[in-house]
Amino acid sequence: MSRPHVLFVCTHNSARSQMAEAWLRHLAGDRFEVRSAGVEPGVLHPLTVQVMREAGINMNDHRAKGISEFLGRWNVNYLITVCDRAAQSCPTAWPGLVTRLHWFFTDPSSATGTDEQRLEVFRRVRDEIRRQIETWLSETVDASGAASSGQRA
Show which residues are catalytic: 10, 83, 90
Give the whole-angstrom CA distance, residue 26 versus residue 19: 10
Closest CA to 67 of 77, 55, 54, 79: 79
d(CA 90, CA 102): 11
DSSP summary character for residue 66 = B
Are residues 86 and 92 in contact, defined by beta-carbon separation less than 8 angstroms? Answer: no
If residue 126 lies in a helix (H) or strand (E), which one and from where to where?
helix 115-140
CA torsion angle for 41, 76, 17, 42 (degrees, to 10)?
-10
Question: Taking phi first (over 0 means left), then psi (-120 to 50 degrees means alpha), and beta for anything else, what does residue 13 get?
Answer: left
